[in-house]
Amino acid sequence: MAPDGIKYTQEHEWVLPTDANTVRIGITDYAQQQLGDVVFVQLPDEGEAVSAGGGIGEVESTKSVSDIYAPVAGKVVARNERLDEQPELVNSDPFGDGWMIELELAEPAELDGLLSADDYRGLVDQA
């Protein structure tokens, strides 16, 4: 449900460091379950700067449309193009093939302010 070694937000995004300066971002298993069947994902373009807490796209499901927020500030260095044709990957593999964007971090120390897997599991258990 919430793999160790990944950081999380209270808005149900996950952040996986891929090297010292970049992270991969997606939504959690809990989030995709709440959304239902994902039918469309809108993501920012490569090169776009994002602010921590700012919107970085939308996920449309059979139930609703939900905003996705940047857990940290940075510049988009990759977006998961597969989601254009296969948005259901967010449901089937939220921590793998369903990733959304990769960011080059503006401030790597921002990761320290995110939730640990244990903290996130506690948050979900209270929901």
Q: In the chain, what percentage of residues exceed pLDDT 90?
A: 96
* 111 pLDDT above the threshold of 90: yes
Residue 1 has what pLDDT? Answer: 82
Using 50, 70 and 90 to split pLDDT, how confident is the model at 115? very high
Residue 127 has what pLDDT? Answer: 77
Cα 15 from Cα 17, distance rounded (Å): 7
Mean local confidence (pLDDT), 49-68: 95
Domain ranges of the chain: 30-110
Would you say the C-alpha torsion 71, 81, 40, 28 has a positive or negative sign?
A: negative
* 102 pLDDT above the threshold of 90: yes
Q: Which fold does the domain 30-110 belong to in CATH?
A: OB fold (Dihydrolipoamide Acetyltransferase, E2P) (2.40.50)
* 33 pLDDT above the threshold of 80: yes
- Mean pLDDT is lowest, of 4-8, 13-17, 123-127, for 123-127
